[in-house]
Each structure stands twice: as C-alpha cells, then as structure tokens.
Amino acid sequence: MTEVKPVGAATDNRPLLVFDSGVGGLSVLAEIRQTLPKAPIVYVADNGGFPYGTKTEAEIAARVPALLGRLAERYRPRLIVIACNTASTIALPGVRAALDLPIVGTVPAIKPAAERSTTRVMGVLGTDATVRQPYVDDLSRRFASDCLVLRHGSAALVQLAEASLRGEATPDAAYRDALAGLLDQSGGARMDTVVLACTHFPLVADRLAAIAPRPLIFVDGAKGIARRTVTLTASEQWPENTAPGIAIFTAPTEPTQGLRAALQNFGLEKIDWL
C-alpha cells in the first residue's frame, strides 16, 4: 500500500545532528552523506571545548551531555551521532541517560582491524584520553585477544588534522612522529594495521600512509557508524528538497576562509554559533 501524504502536510526537516570537538567528525559526516544524501544535517564543532583529548574524564563527562542537551533542545534532531571517540568512550552512557532519542557513538575500530591484521600486531592511534580508557581494554579483550594491541595518544595529530583541513601546510616530520609513537614500541616492527581511533585522523590518513616506512592498513569506524545511522532511521521520511547543511560552533570565533571552503566541501553551507 502506498502511503498517501495529506495535502499540505508539513515537511519534516528535523536533522541528524553530528557532533565532535572540532572538524574530525567531518570524516564521519562524509560517510553519512553518502548513505543518506537527503538527511538534513546539523554539524556541531565544540570549538569552545576543543581539544577533548587532553581533558580529564570528569571534564568530558560533565561537558558533553550538558551541551548535547542544549543542542537537542535547539535543533530537535531525529538522532545524534557523537562523531568523536573521546566523547563516546567517556560520555556515551551519560548522554544516553540524559536524552530520549537515538544516539550513535564512535568507538575505536578494533574489531574490524583484528579481522584484517595478518601479523596480529595492531596499533590504536587516538587521543591521550581515548587510549587510556577501559573501553579500549574491553574491545581488545573481546575482539583482538590473540593480538598485541599497541596504543599511542597524539594531541599533535589532532592539531595537524585541523590545520590541514583549513588548507595550511603541515610538515611530514610531524606525521612521522605520530606514527613513531606506535612503530617504536616493542613489537611495533611487526605492526601491520593501525586503528585511527580519533575521527580527526582519517582526514590525514593519506599523509600517514605516505610517510609510513612500509605499507600499513588504516582502519576507522566511519562506515560502520553510517550503517548504524541508516538502520536507526529506517522508518524516517526524508524531505524531497534537503536544506543546505549547517555548521554550528560553540565559541564565537570567525572561521577562516580555508575552513569555510572545507565545510562547504562537506555540504555545510551555512554557519551559526550556539
């Protein structure tokens, strides 16, 4: 039976809200836009709280649910994607308890990495806050118990990804240092797979691959998050004429021309501030 839409029925423009501390969540947004091209998008960069990776668990657990509560009230999203490993591994239970709508989180892609590693040595490259989470121990135990799982937190790589997205030049040596944090550990010489456990890092995966001393498999969770979002919105009707995506910043700073251009490339044509 085909559904008959009442004449004059209002279009449902409620968006998907994609959230990160900065531009990292754009790597997830790209996959979501591919799979759900008609979904209206509100992308939130909490630049007022950036970076998350050097904050304490208590700071993140307090900030993220409160902020998402305000955002949910203002934008009435159908679903929220926390496109940030740091926020998800620390604050996901708090957000789910506070909000009555579907929340998709981002967790380090250890399971798919374990499916691909031949040498059974993988690296988890994330923020300092993410790599020290018990969540990472738990994923390693459940999905990679026969692997050596090396970990390295790099705040520098987060800044490099932000700068690179704004169109600024970033030196090879800085990427080499980030990867050396894994390669130079005991067992690192056998590592064949690297989990990009921060959503900023897929934005610079080509730079990491280019300076790697040998071919490495880089794995991230963006495709899985997009699939989960599709499943959870299966019964939603999307508007025929989708409004341009909006980027929201939490601090009153003016984005550079380079950042504006990059946001446009991800379909975010309007900018606003919380």
Summarize as ranges the residues that interact with ligand DGL (CB under 6 A). 20-22, 24, 50-53, 84-86, 127, 130, 158, 198-200
Cβ burial of 146 (10 Å; 0-12, 13-18, 19+) is: exposed
Report the residue number, 20 or 31, with the smaller CB distance to ligand DGL. Answer: 20
Rounded Cα–Cα distance for residues 124 and 178 (Å)? 11
- Token representation of residue 49: 């709280």
Cβ proximity to ligand DGL, 84 vs 263, nearer residue: 84
Alpha carbon distance, N-terminus to C-terminus of the chain? 43
Cα gap 76→240, rounded to integer Å: 19
Q: Which CB sits closer to ligand DGL, 75 or 201? A: 201
228: number of Cβ within 10 Å: 18
Q: What share of the chain is helix, strand, coil (3-state, %, to 5)?
A: 45, 15, 40
Note if 147 is an active site residue.
no
198 is a catalytic site residue: yes
- Nearest one of 28, 83, 12, 17 to 242, comparing CA atoms: 12
Q: How far is the CB of 186 from ligand DGL (least distance, A)?
A: 25
Active-site position among 16, 26, 36, 84: 84
- Comparing CB distances to ligand DGL, the nearer of 156 and 187 is 156
Q: How far is the CB of 197 from ligand DGL (least distance, A)?
A: 7
Compute the least distance from the CB of residue 15 to ligand DGL, in Å.
Answer: 20
Question: Which of 74, 73, 52 is CA-nearest to residue 63?
Answer: 52
Q: How far is the CB of 155 from ligand DGL (least distance, A)?
A: 6
The minimum distance between CB 49 and ligand DGL, in angstroms, equals 8
Q: How many residues does the chain have?
A: 274
Active-site choice (29, 198, 203, 268): 198
Pick the closer one to ligand DGL by CB: 155 or 209.
155
Q: Kindly list the catalytic residues.
A: 84, 198
